Amino acid sequence: MHISLTCLGTGDGVPIAGRNHSAYLYTFGDTTLLVDCGEPISSSYKASGLDYNLIDAIFISHLHSDHFSGFFMLIQSFWLEHRQKPLTVYLPTDAIAPIRQMLNTAFLFAEMLPFSMTFVPLKPLGSIAVGPVKVTPCPTSHLERTRKSLQAKYPGEYIAYSFLFEAVHLRLVHSADIGAPEDLDLLLSQQTDFLLCEMAHATPETILGYLAGKPISRILLTHVARHEWERLPELQQTAYRILAGKNYSFARDGDKITISAS
Ligand SMILES: [Zn+2]
């Protein structure tokens, strides 16, 4: 089975020219999953030339706008590009009712869409099968500080997920947004063929130092904070020093990476 990752958006949550917000397309043979749909996903997807029936499921890691803001325009583009294939959207439970309401508010009524769309709530460690891929969402501490300061006033689940993808004996980990590198302890407790790791929510030294000791065959560093991205050569030197001997690279928009067994 051919497994690949196309990076449609590798930026962090801060606006920057030349990097889109979070969107990553994983292909496992004939099965394709989109993880997050930060804007401008409708534009980057069109530019990719990929078929509008390609995506089987969308996984939304959490509801920060840089991971989710392109969703409505993506659905509108699926409508106007005549997508036919049913679509399943896996996302935090709290988001489902307001998204349904917002779709109707934006005149994206179910009756208008030439494809069926199903929303499925993610459950912590509740594995999901999509074709040959087993997807396990693992909660992170990314929203804990926000929860502590604002949950009393704005009730909700305040959840963010990393994802484990397992297919044909390969383990792929997608960090999405973390609160601290230790959020990945469970996922990286065994040999991992590929890790996509965000870099914006701890210092580069903290994240790279953590990854240096983990059994990972291939590391893709992404979501680099804008102020770090603007001095990328220094960050690359830091990574070279800390990850010596590891197989790693920094993601850029448009990158397509083939993922193979260790
Ligand atoms: Zn976030």
For residue 169, with 0-12 CB atoms within 10 Å meaning exposed, 13-18 middle and 19 or more buried, which class applies? exposed
User: Residue 174 Cα, ligand 1 centroid: separation in angstroms?
Assistant: 14
**pLDDT for the residue 260:** 87
pLDDT of 8 over the 90 cut: yes
User: Tell me: the pLDDT tens digits for 244-254?
Assistant: 999 999 999 99
User: Tell me: the pLDDT tens digits for 22-45?
Assistant: 999 999 999 999 999 999 999 999
The arithmetic mean of pLDDT across residues 226-234, rounded, is 96
What value does the mean pLDDT of the chain take? 97
User: Residue 4 Cα, ligand 1 centroid: separation in angstroms?
Assistant: 24
How does residue 49 score in pLDDT terms, banded at 50, 70 and 90?
Answer: very high
How does residue 261 score in pLDDT terms, banded at 50, 70 and 90?
Answer: confident
How does residue 211 score in pLDDT terms, banded at 50, 70 and 90?
Answer: very high
Task: Give the tokens for residue 147.
Answer: 């929860």
User: Residue 39 Cα, ligand 1 centroid: separation in angstroms?
Assistant: 14
What is the H or E stretch that residue 65 is in?
A: helix 65-68
User: Tell me: the pLDDT tens digits for 69-100?
Assistant: 999 999 999 999 999 999 999 999 999 999 99
Instruction: Return d(Cα 55, Cα 53) in angstroms, integer.
Output: 6
User: Tell me: the pLDDT tens digits for 95-139?
Assistant: 999 999 999 999 999 999 999 999 999 999 999 999 999 999 999
User: Residue 19 Cα, ligand 1 centroid: separation in angstroms?
Assistant: 16
Percent of the chain with pLDDT over 90: 98
pLDDT of 262 over the 80 cut: no
Instruction: Return d(Cα 260, Cα 154) in angstroms, integer.
Output: 44
Strand partners, 167: 170
User: Residue 68 Cα, ligand 1 centroid: separation in angstroms?
Assistant: 10
Question: Is the CA virtual torsion 97, 99, 103, 106 positive or negative?
Answer: positive
**Whole-model pTM?**
0.97
Beta strands in the chain (DSSP E): 3-9, 23-28, 31-35, 57-59, 87-91, 117-121, 128-130, 133-139, 161-167, 170-174, 194-198, 219-222, 248-250, 256-259
* Residues near ligand 1 ion, CB 5 Å cutoff: 64, 177
User: Residue 62 Cα, ligand 1 centroid: separation in angstroms?
Assistant: 7
User: Residue 120 Cα, ligand 1 centroid: separation in angstroms?
Assistant: 20
219 residue type, one letter: I
User: Tell me: the pLDDT tens digits for 141-188?
Assistant: 999 999 999 999 999 999 999 999 999 999 999 999 999 999 999 999
User: Residue 23 Cα, ligand 1 centroid: separation in angstroms?
Assistant: 13
User: Residue 231 Cα, ligand 1 centroid: separation in angstroms?
Assistant: 22
